[in-house]
Amino acid sequence: MLLPPDLREWVPENDMVHFVLNAVEAVPLTAFKINHRGCGDAQYPPRMMLALLIYCYANGIFGSRRIERATWRDIGIRYLTADTHPDHDTICKYRRENFDAIAEAFLRVLLLARELGVLKVGTVSVDGTHIQANASIGKSLRYDRAKVLEARLSEDIAELMSQAEQSDTRDDNDGQSLPDEIKRRETLREKMRQAQANLERRAKARAEAQQSEYQRKLSQREQRDGKRKGQKPKPPKDTPSGHDKTNLTDADSRIMRKSKRSEYRQAYNAQVAVDADGSQLILSRHVTNCAADANELKPAIENIPDVLGKPETALADSGYMNSDAFEDLEAAGVDLYVSVDAEDSHAQRRYDYRPPKQKKTRTLTVAALLAMREKVATEEGRRKYAKRKSTVEPVFGIIKSVMGFRQFLLRGVERVAGEWSLVCLAYNVKRLCALSQPATA
C-alpha cells in the first residue's frame, strides 16, 4: 500500500462489472437526459450511472440510499464508479428521468446476445407475475367512504374555524394550535376529493372503452324480429359505484391476488416474453394494473423489437385464453400453443403425494378455443407446450429469489413500467454474462 492502489487488481476478471461496463458503451449519449446548461456541480458520466443501476439491481441492491452506501463498501461498485460516490438524490433522480436510456440499453443487450449467437427469436414463452406496489393495501379507499369522510371533515373544519374566531375575540392563547389542526384536516379533505375524482375519471374511461361493445349488442338486437329481440342491453355506467376503490398512496396500483389460496395485495401485473430456445433472455416486458392476463398475450408478443425478428411460436398458460387474441396473432403468422384448461388437467404425476381430485374441464363453445384445445392435446402440442414452464417461470424465480426484487420502489404505472424495464435489463445482463462465460470443467 505504499503506492496508489489499482482497483483493477482487486476485481476478478470474471466479475460481471466488466461485462456491464462494456454493454453500456453501446448506448448512445442522445438517449440520456443530460444537463446541458453546464451549471452546478460536475455531472457524473451518464453511462457510468446506468452501469451503476444495472450492476446494483442485478446484485439485489435497489434503494438509492443502499446504492449510495454500496459505492463505499463494495469493491466492484467502487471500481465501476472510479471511486466516486453519487449521493442518493442523484441516483434517484437519474433513475426517474432516464427510462429512455434504460429501454435503449435493453435493446442493445439483446442485439449483443444475437451477435454472440445465444439468442434466436423462434419460440417464446409468455407469463406474468404480481409484484407488490410501493403502497399499503390499508390505504385503499372506497368511493362511498370517501364522500362520507369529505363531509365529516368539512364539518370539523367549520367547527374549528368557529373556535378560532372565538379565540381571536377573547384574545387568549388557547387557539394557537388551531391553524395546524385546520391545515391537517384540509389536507386530508383534499385527498378525499382527489380520490373521488380519480375514481370518476376511471369510471368514464371504462364506459368509453365499453361503448363500442354496447353499440354492437344494440345493433344485433335491432336486427332481430318481434319478441326474439330479447332484453335491451344496459348502457355502460360512467359513474363509479360505492364499492370502487382507489389507493391514496399509489392510485394506479390495484388490489390483486394470485389465486383463491393467496392473500390480497396492492400490486401491479408485470409481464414478460422469454426466449424459449435456450437463452431464457427477456425479449419484451410491460406492466399493467389489471390483475388478469387475458388481454396481455398480444401486447407481450407485439412488444418484441422488430429488429430481433418475429417469433414463430408462442406458449402461454390458461390465464391468457382470449379467442380474439388467438385469431389476430395466428393471422400474423404466430403459431400459438395456449392452454384453455387448468394446468393439472394436462398430466397427472405417477406418484402424486396429493390426494386425487376430479378434473374439471371448461365448457367451451367458441370455435377458436375448441381448436386450441385440440391443438394442445396432440402429441406435438404437448411436446411444445411442455417447454413453457421450464423457460419462463425460472425467470421470475431468479428475479424474485436470486436478485431479490419483490416490490417496486417507484409509484405510478409509467414509472413502475420504467423500473420493470430496469429489472428486466439487469436480469438480461446477468443472464448473458453467465452465458458468455467459458464453461468450466
pLDDT at 441: 41
Grid cell for residue 393: 417461470
Length of the chain, in residues? 441
Segment 178-207 mean pLDDT? 91
What's the Cα-to-Cα distance from 231 to each of 210, 237, 314, 333, rounded to whole Å?
18, 17, 40, 40
Q: How far is CA 139 from the centre of its chain?
A: 20
pLDDT band at 41 (very low <50, low <70, confident <90, very high): low
pLDDT band at 326 (very low <50, low <70, confident <90, very high): very high
178, pLDDT greater than 50: yes
pLDDT at 38: 52
pLDDT at 101: 92
pLDDT at 37: 53
Segment 369-378 mean pLDDT? 91
93, pLDDT greater than 80: yes
pLDDT at 360: 67
DSSP code at position 137: G
pLDDT band at 433 (very low <50, low <70, confident <90, very high): very high
Amino acid at 307: V
167, pLDDT greater than 80: no
Asked which of 233-237, 301-305, 357-361 is least confident by mean pLDDT, the reply is 357-361
Segment 7-32 mean pLDDT? 88
Residue by residue, DSSP assigns 26-77 as TS-GGGS---TT--SSPPPPHHHHHHHHHHHHHTT--SHHHHHHHHHH-HHH
What's the Cα-to-Cα distance from 321 to each of 163, 192, 327, 361, 375, rounded to whole Å?
61, 38, 11, 14, 14
Supply the pTM of this predicted model: 0.89
Contact predicate 180/169, CB 8 Å: no
222-249 pLDDT tens trace: 887 766 777 888 888 889 998 999 999 9
pLDDT at 405: 96
Contact predicate 298/343, CB 8 Å: no
Unique residue bearing C-alpha cell 428486466: 424
Amino acid at 54: I
Asked which of 152-161, 186-195, 207-216 is least confident by mean pLDDT, the reply is 207-216
pLDDT at 28: 87
pLDDT at 345: 45
Q: What is the largest CA-CA distance in the chain?
A: 100
pLDDT at 395: 96
140-160 pLDDT tens trace: 999 999 999 999 999 999 998
Residue by residue, DSSP assigns 364-423 as ---HHHHHHHHHHHSHHHHHHHTHHHHHHHHHHHIIIIIS---B-SS-SHHHHHHHHHHH
pLDDT at 362: 73
Q: Give first-to-last CA distance, the chain, whole Å.
A: 36
pLDDT at 439: 59
pLDDT at 151: 94
The average confidence (pLDDT) of the chain is 88
Question: Could you tell me which residues come within 8 angstroms of residue 95 by beta carbon, excluding any fewer than 6 positions away?
Answer: 53, 64, 410, 419, 422
pLDDT at 353: 77
Grid cell for residue 102: 434504460
211, pLDDT greater than 50: yes
Dihedral of the CA atoms 167, 170, 173, 174 (nearest 10)? -50
Segment 178-188 mean pLDDT? 89
Give which of 22, 44, 45 is closest to 108, Cα–Cα.
22
244-291 pLDDT tens trace: 999 999 999 999 998 888 889 999 999 999 999 989 999 999 999 999
Burial of 9 (0-12, 13-18, 19+ CB in 10 A): exposed
CA atoms of 80 and 78, how far apart (whole Å) = 5
What's the Cα-to-Cα distance from 244 to each of 196, 202, 248, 253, 413, rounded to whole Å?
10, 10, 13, 13, 19
Structural element, H or E, at residue 152: helix 143-170
Residue ranges of domains in the chain:
7-97, 120-136+253-346+362-421, 140-247
In this structure, CATH architecture of domain 120-136+253-346+362-421: 2-Layer Sandwich (3.30)
Segment 52-63 mean pLDDT? 96
DSSP code at position 159: H
